[in-house]
Amino acid sequence: MENLLRFIKVNGFDSLYKIPGMGNRSVEHVYARLKERGIFQNDNTCPLFPYLFV
């Protein structure tokens, strides 16, 4: 999970589309799972939040 968030932080969320085998459905699935786990909340509720946003 941390590696995925580091990748997104460095390259941007849209860069997931450039990964072979990652299409709209896959990227939407990743987004939904991250949101479901509360990673998009803030750094007080999720320790992985800083990896996603600077």
Give me the pLDDT at residue 43, please: 62
Pairwise CA distance, residues 27 & 40, whole Å: 15
Domain with 42 in it: 2-52
- By CB neighbour count within 10 A (0-12 exposed, 13-18 middle, 19+ buried), where does 39 fall? buried
What does the pLDDT look like over 1-54, one tens digit per residue? 778 888 888 888 888 999 999 999 999 998 898 888 777 766 666 676 666 654
Give me the pLDDT at residue 25, please: 94
Give me the pLDDT at residue 49, please: 66
Give me the pLDDT at residue 42, please: 65
What distances in angstroms separate CA 16 from CA 11, 13, 33, one per listed residue? 8, 6, 14
Pairwise CA distance, residues 40 & 30, whole Å: 12
Pairwise CA distance, residues 26 & 18, whole Å: 12
What total of structural domains would you count in the chain?
A: 1
Give me the pLDDT at residue 51, please: 63
pTM of the complete model beyond 0.75: no
